Amino acid sequence: MWEYTKTVKDHFLNPRNVGVIDDADGVGEVGSLACGDALTLYFKLDENKKIKDAKFQTFGCASAIASSSALTEMIKGLSLEDAEKITNDKIAEFLGGLPKQKMHCSVLGRDALEKAIANYRGQAEKKVEGNIVCECFGVTDLEIKRAVRENSLNSIEDVTNYVKAGGGCESCHEKIQKIIDESLGLEMPAKKKVIRLTNIQKIKLIEETLEREIKPALKKDGGDIDLVDVDGNNVLVKLQGTCATCSASQITLKHYVESKLRELVAPELLVEEVH
Amino acid sequence: MNVIYVDNNATTKVAPEVLEEMLPYFNEYYGNPSSMHTFGGMVEHKIVESRERLAKLLGASPEEIIFTSCGTESDSTAIRAAILSNPRKKHIVTSRVEHPAVKNLYEYLSKNGYRATFVPVDRKGRLDLDYLYKNLDEDTAIVSIMWANNESGVIFPIEEIGRVLKEKGIVFHTDAVQAVGKIPIDLKNTAVDMLSISGHKLHGPKGVGALYVRKGTKYSPFLIGGHQEKGRRGGTENVASIIGLGKASELAAANLSDESIKVKPLRDKLEAELLNRIPNSMVNGDRDHRLPNTTSIAFEYVEGEAILLMMDEFGICASSGSACTSGSLEPSHVLRAMGVPFTAAHGSIRFSLSVYNTEEEIDVIIEKLPPIIERLRELSPFWKKAQ
């Protein structure tokens, strides 16, 4: 059984903004029946070119429906420029995290949004760019590279979780590994430029990030987090409030807390829960 | 919330009679059956009785039964025994719809020096017997074909296959985990060399299984250790669970007719009503040769995990052949092997009943499921287009 957060369950059982906008300004269709999930997104702009209304129709599992519902809530009131900045990670974050194997549902949301915006701007349907790597799910090398870059993926399993590539016959695994290796290779020199933090600097930065970014987000759901210790790259934390009893706390920990700390402090950090 | 459990091919409730018989063997009669003292000997007697009970259910002799830890261990033991005792033969045969316990072992072996043939099934899930027979040769070490499929419930003609293989002198194993206790099995009159059983599929406990090995079949143990099971499976016996499996076998033998008298009519009612009330729905598999408790129904244009989770809100427990429930991305290998189209495979739900289900429960499912499917179809971009 998947461990879905309360927010995911809520958006699945009571999806917001289901339906069609007949005179939509932008429409984006992604996915297919064969793939097991598909989403059609509609939006309507107001006179200030902000998204006034958004609706969706989704075929797929609970997390696909919840991701779609979340997306429509997130983009309402935004200008297209701001809406464009929504990444799949933000969708997952809005939902309080998604199981790793379900991250592709959030990617589906982002793709639909991109397509709908392109549709509004009158940009021709993007031709399939790049070369198909995964024949089973029709995923190109460019899509894989993007997912690897944006989500710091470093294994074939991760790539499958995010964009489905490699989840079928598995014959493309070698190619995916190559793309991962290349992406990591390219990023290596960039990473080295990051100034090495001293231990005290690192601990301070972790504390600041927890206070500024992470605690406020958890508190919204009635949870909290305390820093217990920093041992090398291991960040030991204690979950409080609803987080302490929440069945999805591991997902929050790994997908939210850890990725935030990696993003804002140091990419090699590991978050561990102590009881 | 009341649980309506229609997922009995996944696991079953331990029968109250089974539990009762097991309990004293945890902390009252906890002796080791291998011990010399009377206290251990009492336990040994009980294991002998369990072996007899299971043998009776199968139409086998007690000495042909080896207790194991699960169905998977039985499968692995059987297949490895066959290839180890025929070291020169490098060809192994199975079907495309086996349980992972057999399927993944075959895939492993095929990467490690064996040539594996996977026999296809047709749209109704029936085995392509011509293909099977055509692909047998001098090099074939073992054929392993499940007795009944866990997802579609389709029953394979094990008796007939057994006759052909016996003539050719090829070792024949069957994974009968889903069949035992649901349909009559008589190994005296069936040419099967080895057969796997799992305790928890027939109202026994989890963590116990058995392997039937016909007298005279070449065998080599998988777990090598002590003299337990006459050296055919080392390791101290899982006493309470073996006793549980024995009792469950006795109950299954006594109540086998319930499967067709009580369970099948409920399954048939559920199936007929759902097909009747829900448009674009169909049964996966051969309805004429099927386990009495199982139905796999495809609801087009909706996704299985979503259906399961909405049913879960009402306490209804079933399972799905959809990709999303397993963490893989493709629908079940069984439905794909059957050529069920993607429109239907992703939305396939398996209901598997037991003697503990009541007509009231079936009525609740019949009432609750149609609006769920309708709701999900309203959400789906494909439904309106398909109309």
Question: Can you give the pLDDT at residue B234?
Answer: 95
Range B100-123 average pLDDT: 96
Nearest CB among A29, A33, A60 relative to B343 is that of A33
Q: What are the sequence ranges of the domains in chain B?
A: 4-11+256-386, 16-252
**B381 and A57 in contact by Cβ < 8 A?**
yes
Nearest to B67 by CA among B33, B90, B27: B33
- Among residues 61-80 of chain A, which lie with CB inside 8 Å of chain B? 61-65
How far does the CA of residue B289 sit from the closest CA of chain A (Å)? 29
Mutate to test the interface with A, among B379, B385, B387 (most CBs of A within 10 A): B379
* Token representation of residue B298: 């495809």
Q: Between B66 and A145, name the one with better pLDDT.
A: B66
Question: Can you give the pLDDT at residue A254?
Answer: 75
Is residue B180 a contact partner of residue B57, using CB atoms and an 8 Å limit? yes
Question: Can you give the pLDDT at residue B124?
Answer: 96
Range A211-232 average pLDDT: 84
How many CB atoms within 10 Å of residue A200?
9
Give me the interface pTM, i.e. the ipTM.
0.85
Nearest CB among A62, A101, A137 relative to B327 is that of A101
User: What is the dihedral sign for C-alpha A188, A191, A193, A195?
Assistant: negative
Res. A189: pLDDT tops 70: no
Q: What pLDDT digit, counting tens, does each position of A12-54 carry? A: 999 999 999 999 999 999 988 877 889 999 999 999 999 999 9
Lowest mean per-residue pLDDT among A67-76, A86-95, A249-258, B309-318: A249-258
**A36 and B378 in contact by Cβ < 8 A?**
no
Q: What is the CATH number of domain A6-120?
A: 3.90.1010.10
Q: Give contacts of A156 with chain B, Cβ < 8 Å.
A: none
Q: What pLDDT digit, counting tens, does each position of B335-375 carry? A: 999 999 888 889 999 999 999 999 999 999 999 999 999 99
Q: Give contacts of A58 with chain B, Cβ < 8 Å.
A: 379-381
Q: What pLDDT digit, counting tens, does each position of B44-100 carry? A: 999 999 999 999 999 999 999 999 999 999 999 999 999 999 999 999 999 999 999
**B379 and A37 in contact by Cβ < 8 A?**
no
**B342 and A33 in contact by Cβ < 8 A?**
yes
d(CA B284, CA B288): 12
Cα angle for residues B160, B164, B165 (degrees, 5° grid): 115
Look at phi and psi of residue A152 and say left if phi exceeds 0, alpha if psi is from -120 to 50, else beta.
left
Which CATH architecture is the domain B4-11+256-386 placed in?
Answer: Alpha-Beta Complex (3.90)
For strand A270-273 and strand A234-241, is the pairing parallel, antiparallel, or unpaired?
parallel
Q: Give contacts of B319 with chain A, Cβ < 8 Å.
A: none
Nearest CB among A2, A13, A168 relative to B329 is that of A168
DSSP SS3 for A63: helix
Mutate to test the interface with A, among B299, B324, B326, B376 (most CBs of A within 10 A): B324
Length of chain B, please?
A: 387
Question: Can you give the pLDDT at residue B6?
Answer: 97
Q: How confident is the model at residue A267 (pLDDT cuts 50, 70, 90)?
A: confident
**B381 and A38 in contact by Cβ < 8 A?**
yes
**B346 and A15 in contact by Cβ < 8 A?**
no
**A64 and B346 in contact by Cβ < 8 A?**
no
Lowest mean per-residue pLDDT among A203-207, B11-15, B31-35, B234-238: A203-207
d(CA B362, CA B267): 8
d(CA A224, CA A241): 6
Touching check for B306 and chain A: CB below 8 Å? yes
Nearest to B102 by CA among B76, B128, B69: B76
Range B222-245 average pLDDT: 96
* Neighbour-count burial of A126, counting CB atoms closer than 10 A to its CB (0-12 exposed, 13-18 middle, 19+ buried): exposed
For the CA atoms of A70, A72, A73, A77, what is the dihedral angle to 10 degrees?
Answer: 150
Is residue B261 a contact partner of residue B65, using CB atoms and an 8 Å limit? no
When the candidates are 1.10.3480.10, 3.50.50.60, 3.40.190.10, 1.10.10.1100, the CATH number that belongs to A132-193 is 1.10.10.1100
For the CA atoms of A190, A192, A193, A194, what is the dihedral angle to 10 degrees?
Answer: 110
Query: Containing H/E element for B378?
Result: helix B359-379
Q: CA-nearest residue of chain A to B326?
A: A1
A105 is catalytic: yes
Q: How confident is the model at residue A257 (pLDDT cuts 50, 70, 90)?
A: confident
Pick the catalytic residue from A61, A105, A134, A243: A105
**A61 and B306 in contact by Cβ < 8 A?**
yes
**B303 and A36 in contact by Cβ < 8 A?**
yes
Question: Can you give the pLDDT at residue A190?
Answer: 46
Touching check for B298 and chain A: CB below 8 Å? no
Res. A128: pLDDT tops 70: no
Q: What are the sequence ranges of the domains in chain A?
A: 6-120, 132-193, 199-273
Res. A2: pLDDT tops 90: no
d(CA B249, CA B208): 12
For B162-165, which contacts have Cβ atoms below 8 Å and span 24 or more sequence positions?
B162/B190, B162/B191, B162/B192, B163/B191, B164/B133, B165/B136, B165/B191
| Percentage of chain B lying above the pLDDT 90 cut | 93
- Among residues 98-157 of chain A, which lie with CB inside 8 Å of chain B? 101-102, 104, 136-137
Nearest CB among A59, A101, A167 relative to B380 is that of A59
Res. A253: pLDDT tops 90: no
- Among residues 1-30 of chain A, which lie with CB inside 8 Å of chain B? 2, 12-13, 15, 18, 29
Question: Can you give the pLDDT at residue B128?
Answer: 97
Range A192-215 average pLDDT: 79
Size of interface A-B (CB pairs under 8 A): 74
**B342 and A101 in contact by Cβ < 8 A?**
no
Question: Can you give the pLDDT at residue A194?
Answer: 52
Q: How confident is the model at residue B284 (pLDDT cuts 50, 70, 90)?
A: very high
Mutate to test the interface with B, among A14, A41, A61, A159 (most CBs of B within 10 A): A61
Q: Give contacts of A40 with chain B, Cβ < 8 Å.
A: 381
Q: Give contacts of B379 with chain A, Cβ < 8 Å.
A: 15, 18, 57-59, 65
Touching check for B381 and chain A: CB below 8 Å? yes
Domain B16-252 has CATH 3.30.70.3270: no
Lowest mean per-residue pLDDT among A115-119, B209-213, B268-272: A115-119
Nearest CB among A18, A63, A101 relative to B379 is that of A18
Is residue B53 a contact partner of residue B248, using CB atoms and an 8 Å limit? no
For strand A132-134 and strand A139-140, is the pairing parallel, antiparallel, or unpaired?
antiparallel
The stretches of chain A forming alpha helices (DSSP H) are: 6-13, 62-75, 80-84, 88-94, 103-120, 141-151, 156-163, 173-193, 199-209, 215-220, 242-245, 249-251, 259-264
Domain A199-273 has CATH 3.30.300.130: yes
Question: For residue A150, which phi and psi values (nearest 5 degrees)?
Answer: -70, -25
Nearest CB among B306, B328, B343 relative to A62 is that of B306
- Distance, first Cα to last Cα, chain B: 37
How far does the CA of residue A170 sit from the closest CA of chain B (Å)? 11
Touching check for B343 and chain A: CB below 8 Å? yes
Q: Between A220 and B356, name the one with better pLDDT.
A: B356
Nearest CB among B304, B329, B378 relative to A160 is that of B329
Question: Can you give the pLDDT at residue A212?
Answer: 86
Question: For residue A128, which phi and psi values (nearest 5 degrees)?
Answer: -60, 115
The mean of the pLDDT values for chain B is 95
